[in-house]
Amino acid sequence: MSITADESYVLTGHCPSVIGSVELVTGFLFQQGCYVTELQTFDDTETGEFFIRAEFYPEKNDPEKTGVSIEQLQQEFAKCAEAFGMSWHIRNARQPTRCIIMVSKYDHCLQDLLHRQQTGHLNIEVAAIVSNHPDLQGLAAWYGIPYYHFPITAETKPQQEAQVWHLIEQTGADLVILARYMQVLSEEMCGRLHGKAINIHHSLLPGFKGAKPYHQAFEKGVKLVGATAHYVSQDLDEGPIISQAVEAVDHSYTPQKLAAKGRDTERLTLARAIKAHIEHRVFLHGNRTVVLQGHD
């Protein structure tokens, strides 16, 4: 596949912190006749690890370079990166990320994601919507997206997750979004989806678990509500965090108003996390993440 001047690509990499790691990337792209439109780096002084993200396109005024293929870029950069011990990827920045959205009955995050995708604010292709309830089938039909109702009980959980995994493989989805999917994934499923599944949940301060968290928050007189988006992990709600947000509230907020404020915060936080992921701005770094932020 040849690269044209109308295409945009992203090179991401991480390696031990050594002199010349920035020049490795920028020098290579210069030699290939590519113009860098965005460059971000982070050096973790605690672990001695270096992270870099470069967005680029072939120089329009260099006709000799515009015929280069992404495969050629990958082959040539592999030779350079090996000496630095760099793990890296070169991807098409404009290629939509194929995903599956999982949801239960709450539709606010799903509605928001579908609207952002439809209006071009989120570069995703929703291959399917999966739910353990039939309630949101009409919404999926309105957007023309296949809807799969996979009921689940404690006894049928292995079979239900097998259905989900088969659908992931069948559709070629690269990302699973848990848009208020009110079921806990098994350890096996979490392992399979490592770094490829994003969850959203409320993060009230202090935290309230169980039923009606916003009613619990009202009774305690909380002054902040928030949300956390993170990769799923085998430790419930403790996966590497991608994005968080908090909003101030006061004594005038009823449980219903607290819940409404929470829904708004969840929508925005989840969308930010997904955007960072699909733009290849997130590096998994142990149980943490390095997020090289872009523009909302």
Spatial CA neighbour of 3 closest among 88, 97, 74, 52: 74
What is the residue-averaged pLDDT of the chain? Answer: 92
Mean pLDDT, residues 204-226 taken together: 84
Alpha-carbon separation of residue 73 from 8, 90, 174, 246 (angstroms):
13, 8, 23, 42
Mean pLDDT, residues 31-53 taken together: 95
200-206 long-range contacts, CB within 8 A, separation 24+: 200/109, 200/227, 200/228, 200/229, 200/266, 200/269, 200/270, 200/273, 201/227, 201/228, 201/237, 201/266, 202/226, 202/227, 202/262, 202/265, 202/266, 203/227, 203/228, 203/244, 203/246, 204/262, 205/246
Q: Which residue has the higher pLDDT, 263 or 213?
A: 263
Q: How many other C-beta atoms can be found within 10 angstroms of the C-beta atom of residue 180?
A: 21
User: Strands 87-92 and 97-103, how do they pair?
Assistant: unpaired
Q: How does pLDDT run across 193-205, given as a tens digit for each residue?
A: 999 999 998 887 6
Residue 204 has a pLDDT of 78
Domain coordinates in residue numbering, the chain: 9-92, 97-291
Q: How does pLDDT run across 221-232, given as a tens digit for each residue?
A: 999 999 999 999
Mean pLDDT, residues 273-296 taken together: 93
Q: How many other C-beta atoms can be found within 10 angstroms of the C-beta atom of residue 100?
A: 22
Name the β-bridge partners of 197: 176
Alpha carbon distance 118, 124 (integer Å)? 9
Q: How does pLDDT run across 141-179, given as a tens digit for each residue?
A: 999 999 999 999 999 999 999 999 999 999 999 999 999
Rounded to 10 deg, the angle between the 21-31 and 70-82 helix axes is 150
Name the β-bridge partners of 174: none
CATH (one of 1.10.260.40, 1.10.10.1150, 3.40.50.170, 3.40.50.720) for 97-291: 3.40.50.170
Is it the case that residue 62 has pLDDT exceeding 70?
no
> Which residue is catalytic, options 44, 62, 107, 237?
237
Mean pLDDT, residues 37-64 taken together: 88
> And the tokens for 27?
């020098």
Residue 285 has a pLDDT of 93
Report percent pLDDT > 90 for the chain.
Answer: 81
**Alpha helices, H only, the chain:** 21-31, 70-82, 108-118, 137-143, 157-171, 187-192, 213-220, 255-278
Mean pLDDT, residues 227-245 taken together: 91
Q: Is 44 a catalytic residue?
A: no
Q: Is the dihedral of CA 269, 169, 93, 12 positive or negative?
A: positive
The owner of tokens 């992270």 is 51
Q: Which residue has the higher pLDDT, 2 or 83?
A: 83
For residue 211, the SS3 value is: coil
pLDDT classification of 26: cutoffs 50, 70, 90: very high
pLDDT classification of 70: cutoffs 50, 70, 90: confident
For residue 148, the SS3 value is: strand
pLDDT classification of 18: cutoffs 50, 70, 90: very high
Residue 7 has a pLDDT of 78
Residue 65 has a pLDDT of 54
The owner of tokens 């390696």 is 15
Alpha carbon distance 159, 156 (integer Å)? 5
Residue 235 has a pLDDT of 77
pLDDT classification of 211: cutoffs 50, 70, 90: confident
CATH class of 9-92: alpha beta
Q: Which residue has the higher pLDDT, 128 or 236?
A: 128
The owner of tokens 């949940």 is 201
